[in-house]
Amino acid sequence: MNQRTIAKRIELVGIGLHKGVPVKMTLEPLPSNSGIIFYRSDSGTSIPLCIENVIDTTMATVIGKNGDKVSTIEHLLSSIYAYGIDNLRIVLDNEEVPIMDGSSIGFCMLLEEAGIQELEMPKKIIEIVENVAVEDGDKFVRLEPNQDMVFDFKIRFPHQAIREQHYNFTFTTQRYKEEIARARTFGFLHEVNQLRAMGLGLGGNFDNCIVLDKNKILNKGGLRYKEEFVRHKILDALGDMCLLGMHFIGGYFSFAGSHRLNHLLTKKLLESPTAYRVIELAKDSYKSASYARQAVSLTSF
């Protein structure tokens, strides 16, 4: 399996979640070994996607360089990861990726419209060979050896519409589209009001976020999945794992994980050379059946 980019340039205009202003986003193909690069057209700043450029993980994953930043990147990255894309230029004229409908399904549709282009260089992936974990009280995120890419996530909230939710997801692109991509971000009404008092969350509404008051879900349409809350956490985790710079084979396990813990986990893994190895997926030299399965999972859409 070779590296991938998109087949043609494509653009859209959407609203940023926190500033609430229009954002023009253009996706452009890049050659092999370029990686994922964000470009702020309003300032002329390129920000490569890497853990060194992460500057904030409070409410979203934010990268920055030379005083410029790009916020709320995880939903777009989740879809980029799901489609096996290794090289892409993301051009923005403001500091936020459009929120779309609060999930990643719109980005999936955008990537399918652009088409996927296979490049000339072989794809590289990370194989997890030792457990790596980050903990914060009872919260944790962990990577383990596994023959597939597995995400196992559990959350617990006192709210009666959530309570405890658990979802186990073995990745393929098709399953991602069916089980994960439509899960929306969520927030509580009192938090939304606090954010807006701080000048944030100005682009949030019932069309791009599940909103809960003290007792119930306020969105008229209800939920898209029974476990939409925890499925969205898996969506976020996939996006945050994009910071590794490669896809991985292994298991991701979490209880109450967050963007901050995901960032610490990717950083810890890359600082632990015995915990992983890099595999080159040359077309005619898969090292084992598991690598071949992983390659197939990234082409099944």
DSSP code string of 222-249: --SSTTHHHHHHHHHHHHHHGGGSSEEE
Please count the residues of the chain.
301
300 located within any domain = no
| 86 marked among binding-site residues | no
User: Are 96 and 178 in a shared domain?
Assistant: no
User: Are residues 40 and 150 both part of a single domain?
Assistant: no
In this predicted structure, what is the pLDDT of residue 182? 98
90 and 116 co-located in one domain: yes
Q: Report yes or no on 225 lying in a domain.
A: yes
The DSSP code sequence of 93-120 is: SSSB-B-TTSSSHHHHHHHHHH-EEEEE
Does residue 274 share a domain with residue 133? yes
The residues carrying an active-site annotation are 259
75 annotated to a ligand binding site: yes
pTM above 0.85, yes or no: yes
Same domain, 9 and 34: yes
Residues 131, 168: one domain? yes
Structural domain containing residue 96: 2-121
Rounded distance between C-alpha atoms, residue 65 and residue 48, angstroms: 9
Position 301 in a domain? no
Identify the domain boundary among 73, 88, 121: 121
Residues 205 and 244 placed together within one structural domain of the fold: yes
The reply to whether 18 falls in a domain is: yes
CA dist., res. 210 & res. 105, Å (int): 15
Residue at a domain's end among 72, 105, 121: 121
Q: What is the DSSP string of 7-58?
A: SS-EEEEEEBTTT--EEEEEEEE--TT--EEEEETTTTEEEE-SGGGEEE-S
- Which residues 6+ apart lie within 8 Å of 191 measured at CB? none
Q: Which pLDDT score is estimated for 1?
A: 87
Shared-domain flag, residues 130 and 117: no
Residues 136 and 256 in one domain: yes
- 169/178 Cα distance (integer angstroms): 11
Query: What confidence score (pLDDT) does residue 293 get?
Result: 53
Q: Does 133 lie in the same domain as 258?
A: yes
Q: What is the CATH number of the domain that holds 84?
A: 3.30.230.20
Instruction: Determine if residue 263 is labeled as part of a ligand binding site.
Output: no
Would you say residue 282 lies in a domain? yes
Q: Is the pLDDT of residue 4 over 50?
A: yes
Final residue of a domain: which of 76, 97, 121? 121
259 close to 217: Cβ distance less than 8 angstroms: no
Q: What is the pLDDT of residues 94-128, one digit of tens each?
A: 999 999 999 999 999 999 999 999 999 999 999 99
Using DSSP's 3-state secondary structure scheme, residue 86 falls into coil
Question: How many domains does the chain contain in total?
Answer: 2
For residue 155, is it within any domain? yes
Residue environment code for 90-125, b if the CB has 16+ CB neighbours within 10 A, otherwise e: bbbbbbbbbbbbbbbbbbbebbeebebebbeebbeb
Angle at 119 between CA 117 and CA 122, to 5 degrees: 130
Structure tokens at 25: 């986003």
- Give burial (CB, 10 Å; 0-12/13-18/19+) of 178: exposed
Average pLDDT over residues 269-280: 96
Report phi then psi at 2, rounded to 5: -100, 170
Asked if 190 and 88 sit in the same domain, the reply is no
Regarding whether 150 and 15 lie in a shared domain, the answer is: no
Angle at 45 between CA 97 and CA 8, to 5 degrees: 60
Percentage of the chain lying above the pLDDT 90 cut: 83
* pLDDT of 298 over the 60 cut: no
